[in-house]
Amino acid sequence: ITTDVPGCRETVEEGVNGFFVPSRNSEALAQAMLRFITQPELIRTMGVASRSLAEQRFNAEVISTQMIDCLFDCNFQDVLSGSLEK
């Protein structure tokens, strides 16, 4: 259960591995919590989905490869354009 704000929204797919609630809305938070209480099977299925999402999106090897690719692409564009300062 989280709010739909940057940093939080990247970790949840609504209804797949969790729920979004509006910021500062205690009633919506209580309803989302109640959903887990009344449907405890969601805890397991959404937990498994959360782990899968984390392994795909936040895997250190994947992120470091993406970062290196991005840095290479940025630097490569600078070299091609002649704007790389020494």
Token readout for 23 is 């910021």
Assign 20 to helix, strand or coil.
strand
Q: What is the pTM of this model?
A: 0.69
**AA letter at 20:** F
Please tell me the predicted confidence (pLDDT) of residue 28.
98
pLDDT at residue number 77:
66
- pLDDT, tens digit, for every residue of 33-80? 999 999 999 999 999 999 999 999 889 998 899 888 888 888 766 666
Q: What is the pLDDT of residue 33?
A: 98
Helix (H/G/I), strand (E/B), else coil: 76: helix
For 44, the enclosing helix (H) or strand (E) is helix 41-57
Share of the chain above pLDDT 90, in %: 66
- CA geometry: angle at 55 spanning 52 and 61, to 5°? 160
| Interior/surface letters 2-14, b for 16+ CB within 10 angstroms, e for the rest | bbeeeeeeeebee
